[in-house]
Amino acid sequence: MNTKLKLHIRTFGCQMNFYDSDVALGALENAGFEIIKETAHPYEDSDVFILNTCSVREHAETRVYGHLYELRDFKAEKKPDLIVGLMGCMAEEHKEKLFKKFPHLDFLCGTRNIKELPEIVETVRKTRQQTARIKKEGLGIEYSELTKYGNGINAWLPIMTGCNKVCTYCIVPTTRGPEVSMPAREVYKEASRLAEQGYKQITLLGQNVNSYGKDLPGNPSFPELLRMLDEIEGLELISFTTSHPEDATEELFLAMRDSKKVSRRFHLPLQSGSDAVLKRMKRLHRYAEFKAKVDRFRELVPDISLTTDIIVGFCGETEEDFEATKRAIKEIEFDGAYIFQYSPRPATPAYKIKDDVPKEVKNRRNVELLAIQDAITKKHYEKLIGSSAEVLVDHISRKDEHQMIGQTRHERHVVFGGTSQLSGTTQTIQIKSVRNKTLLGELVSAAQ
């Protein structure tokens, strides 16, 4: 390219999508593109505008469709040469059908084709023909020094993609394929490189992260990988998401208990407290089994912070089923929960099942569960008032330049008075109060 094309990527969805965008930005910048951040007029300021998409929930797709309609009108009225691309899970799910629905869409890029983006954009620029690159095999992870990480202290580190589970509501096996793991030696090497670059926290990513390594005979298991990474000098905190109850083993609990750096937060999706609903979801566990694992985990790691996912209004969910979920939330007392209303996703097994819970019922149940969980979370947070916590300091508050934001080993956010010189350090903070789901504290002293 004789002149640099200005490029912007807007990302939707999970942490894996944000990592994919970081990889794409690095590859495109290395190929000569000028990367622009979010501006007041991103369409006008870009020569290439890419949407990195998510298909897990209907709301995420609806937002992408809204942008595509806006871009259609913008190209027609103001900037016909604007190159519009779509990458990520919607490209994997809908493929070339998107070209028919959106003729102004110039290219599609699958989750395993990110490194081809510079070539794809250049092909479109020269030919002005719609181009699709969607590969179904291979590992959709690129470890590269070109990856354009942010300026903070945390780096995403995917260690596997795909999922072999068959949850009936989930689109991931379609969009990301079967489980494929990165060899442990490559993960260790990349984590070490990130630590050398000054990153203090890494977050290990996978659609089912704690089944890591099962596809690689002789490779360390996920608990063994955590023990390896725990020894890397320079790292302060090792997080991971997301887990599946079937693969949450005592070996994993012990590895977390014994580690010096692994997060004390564990995200374990329950989805429903009703065995009948769990069976229709094909979650591979029943509530009693889930509760037994939680009890054993808390026995081994008493200070663990447990969070979860809940789906309300899944196909056939009765009031009795819903009451079972309410009882489960009250019984387990999660520290936090992401609660969503079920929305049918094409290409999932549940799409063939009647979505028979009315919207107004889903809304009511959603509101009820949120209220129950918010009260539990508030109670747990208020118990921390007066205690001290070691906090990994991240960045200056956007609301107050005299305040710093960090997180505890339990991944609870803490705001306290301080300066940017503290960023990347671990400080002892005394917790004084709680605001929503944020702890407010005062600096005590630097941790030793």
Other C-beta atoms closer than 10 Å to the C-beta of 428 total 16
Q: Is the residue at 1 inside a domain?
A: no
Residue 84 corresponds to which tokens in the numbers above? 């519009």
Mean pLDDT within 266-278 = 98
**Which is nearest to 184 in space by CA: 203, 156, 151, 159?**
159
End-to-end CA distance of the chain: 52
359-382 helix and 319-332 helix, angle to the nearest 10 degrees: 10
Q: Are residues 347 and 394 in the same domain?
A: no
**What CA–CA distances, in Å, run from 20 to 85, 88, 161, 162, 212?**
14, 8, 12, 14, 19
Distance from C-alpha of 38 to C-alpha of 68, rounded to nearest angstrom: 17
Q: Which of 263, 286, 311 is the last residue of a domain?
A: 263
Q: Are residues 186 and 233 in the same domain?
A: yes
Amino acid making up residue 94: H
Residue 356 corresponds to which tokens in the numbers above? 């028979």
pLDDT at 80 over 70: yes
Q: Is the residue at 124 inside a domain?
A: yes
- Give the pLDDT band (50/70/90) at residue 287: very high
Q: Is the residue at 114 inside a domain?
A: yes
Mean pLDDT within 76-104 = 96
pTM of the model as a whole: 0.92
Dihedral angle of Cα 381, 384, 385, 389, to the nearest 10 degrees: -120
15-30 helix and 117-127 helix, angle to the nearest 10 degrees: 60
pLDDT at 327 over 90: yes
Q: Are residues 25 and 102 in the same domain?
A: yes
Q: Which of 361, 383, 405 is the last residue of a domain?
A: 383
- CATH number at 193 reads 3.30.750.210
Amino acid making up residue 402: H
- CATH number at 320 reads 3.30.750.200
- CA atoms 320, 321, 322, 326: torsion sign: positive
Residues 71 and 83: beta-carbon distance below 8 Å: no
Distance from C-alpha of 188 to C-alpha of 308, rounded to nearest angstrom: 28
Mean pLDDT within 437-446 = 88
pLDDT at 149: 84
Q: Are residues 249 and 199 in the same domain?
A: yes
Distance from C-alpha of 87 to C-alpha of 24, rounded to nearest angstrom: 10
Structural domain of residue 403, as residue ranges? 388-446
Residues 234 and 196: beta-carbon distance below 8 Å: yes
Q: Is the residue at 70 inside a domain?
A: yes
Q: Are residues 121 and 59 in the same domain?
A: yes
pLDDT at 40 over 90: no
Percent of the chain with pLDDT over 90: 89
Indicate the burial class of 395 (C-beta count within 10 angstroms; 0-12, 13-18, 19 or more): middle
Distance from C-alpha of 299 to C-alpha of 315, rounded to nearest angstrom: 35
Q: Are residues 254 and 297 in the same domain?
A: no
Mean pLDDT within 258-269 = 97
Q: Which of 332, 355, 383 is the last residue of a domain?
A: 383
Amino acid making up residue 27: A
Q: Is the residue at 144 inside a domain?
A: no
HSE at residue 21, side-chain half, CA atoms within 13 A, is 24
Indicate the burial class of 110 (C-beta count within 10 angstroms; 0-12, 13-18, 19 or more): buried
Mean pLDDT within 92-121 = 95
pLDDT at 151: 72
pLDDT at 445: 67
Q: Are residues 196 and 154 in the same domain?
A: yes
pLDDT at 319 over 80: yes
Q: Are residues 96 and 14 in the same domain?
A: yes
- Give the pLDDT band (50/70/90) at residue 140: confident
Q: Are residues 373 and 396 in the same domain?
A: no
Segment 156-202, tens digit of pLDDT: 999 999 999 999 999 999 888 899 999 999 999 999 999 999 999 99
Q: Are residues 259 and 276 in the same domain?
A: no
Q: Is the residue at 107 inside a domain?
A: yes
Q: Are residues 346 and 411 in the same domain?
A: no
- CATH number at 393 reads 2.40.50
How many domains is the chain built from? 4
pLDDT at 446 over 80: no
pLDDT at 150: 76
pLDDT at 447: 47
Mean pLDDT within 332-359 = 96
- Give the pLDDT band (50/70/90) at residue 448: very low
Contacts of 338 (CB under 8 A, 6+ apart): 307, 308, 309, 310
Q: Are residues 274 and 358 in the same domain?
A: yes
Mark residue 370 as left, alpha or beta (left: phi above 0; alpha: psi -120 to 50; beta: remaining): alpha
Q: Is the residue at 140 inside a domain?
A: no
Average pLDDT, the chain: 94
Mean pLDDT within 15-35 = 94
* Three-state helix/strand/coil letters over 33-58: CEECCCCCCHHHHCCEEEEEECCCCH
pLDDT at 137 over 80: no
Q: Is the residue at 273 inside a domain?
A: yes
